[in-house]
A = this chain, B = another copy of it.
Amino acid sequence: MATIYDVARHADVSAATVSRVLNGRGSVDPTLTERVLAAVAELGYRRNAVARNLRKQQTSLWAVIISDVQNPFFTSMVRGIEDVASAAGCSVVLCNSDENPEKESKYIGVALSEQMAGVIISPSSDRTEDFNLLPDSGCPVVMVDRQVKGVRCDSVLVDNEHGAEEATTHLIEQGYERIACITGPRRLSTAAQRLRGYRNAFKAAGRPVDESLIRAADFREHGGHDAMAALLDAAGPAPDAVFVANNLMTVGAMECLAERGRVIPDDIALVGFDEIPWADLVRPSITTVEQPTYEEGRAAAELLAHRIANPDRALTQQTLKTTLRVRASSTRPTPLSP
């Protein structure tokens, strides 16, 4: 590997001049500039970013620690982040924590040790201290999608509570009587908020919540499947509608219903949270609470860029709006008479 000194020797200038040419700092005689550039090309010289980072005490790499690479919600968000990062001259590296707190801690450590310029994270755990390691070490952080109390960082969220309430209210208005809820792990803010929205809808309608119709699963496909099965197998009348608090679990629940031969929405209505990929190919089409995922990514990235530029600015929190998209899965097959 050629170093800056090799280039300097080749161009018959000092290493400082090479550095100046490469970084466009200070002014350099056009003749020398040309010689340096020629030497760079000839030697195939490429700046050693590690040495540069050590000297400058920072990199131009952003770490994006996402809780599940296999969830299209996150990958779509990543696109938004990348677009902003690349406009800011930074590169994005993704780390997959896989909903696993250990992996998450590991990647926080990597971001810190590698002196990443900043971190965008969708938390898998509620380990406040792990997250605070970042701001405490002076590494800018933005949390996205999920909230962890007590972490000193900016965040980008969506109005989960409102979205869930709207979805549940929609089911109530359609005349469903036994509306179940499959939510996520209690430690995750999104699960808690969406469950709260579900409860709010009943309160607003002046109806009691049947606690036996609420299940907490793990936000994965399998969890949604099993929770649905448990709801169907429970004693008493089966639910006639279900609100599922994320996309993967919605898929799982649908698979369960298909296995049992339950027809949506005739036997049971369904509303999901998050966009279902290839929703248009799924029959019946699924009513969902949609999030502006690309925008969430952009917003998080812009927040990060601002904090990097100005580490002392006040902590901010952005909340984006969700949209209820009513489709076939929640439409009453036989309209109620008034």
Give A contacts to B, CB under 8 Å.
1, 44, 46-51, 53-54, 59, 61, 63, 69-70, 72, 75-76, 78-79, 82, 91-96, 98, 106-107, 109-110, 112-115, 136-138, 251, 254-255, 258, 277-278, 280-283
Contact between A75 and B79, CB atoms less than 8 A apart? no
Of B50, B79, B109, the residue contacting A50 (CB under 8 A) is B50
Task: With A255-B280, A277-B278 as known contacts, state yes or no: A95 contacts B96, CB within 8 Å.
Answer: no
Structural contact, B70 and A75, CB atoms closer than 8 A = yes
- Which chain B residues border A281 with CB–CB below 8 Å? 251, 254-255, 258, 282
B113:A48 contact, CB within 8 angstroms: yes
On whether the beta carbons of A50 and B53 are closer than 8 Å, the reply is: yes
Instruction: Give chain B residues whose Cβ lies under 8 Å from the Cβ of A278.
Output: 251, 277-278, 282
Complex Cα–Cα for A178 and B79 (A): 39
Q: How far is the CB of A63 from chain B (nearest CB, A)?
A: 8
Copies of this protein in the complex: 2
Point out the residue from B1, B49, B94, B280 that lies within 8 Å of A114, measured CB to CB.
B49
Cα distance A316–B130 in the bound complex, in angstroms: 42
Q: Contacts of A91 on B, CB cut-off 8 Å?
A: 95, 106-107, 110
In whole angstroms, how far apart are the Cα atoms of A44 and B132 in the complex? 12
Contact A115 B282 (CB under 8 A): no
- B residues near A280, Cβ cutoff 8 Å: 255, 258
Chain B CB within 10 Å — which of A54, A59, A78 has the most? A54
For A50, list chain B residues within 8 Å (CB): 50, 53-54, 59, 113-115
Cα distance, A47 to B75, chains bound together (Å) = 31
CB contact between A92 and one of B96, B254, B282 (< 8 Å): that residue = B96
Partner of A94, one of B44, B53, B93: B93
Shortest A10–chain B CB gap in Å is 18
Q: How many angstroms between the C-alpha atoms of A91 and B63 in the bound complex? A: 12
* Chain B residue at minimal CB-CB distance from A64: B94
6 smallest CB-CB distances across A and B, nearest first, come from: A49-B113, A93-B93, A94-B94, A69-B75, A50-B53, A50-B54
Residues from chain B with a CB closer than 8 A to the CB of A49 are 110, 113-115
A92 cross-chain contacts in B, Cβ below 8 A? 95-96
Measured CB to CB, the nearest residue on chain B to A78 is B69
CB-based contact B95/A95 at 8 Å: no
Q: Which of B93, B96, B137, B283 contacts A78 (CB 8 A)?
A: B96
User: How near does chain B come to A40, taking the closest CB pair, in angstroms?
Assistant: 14
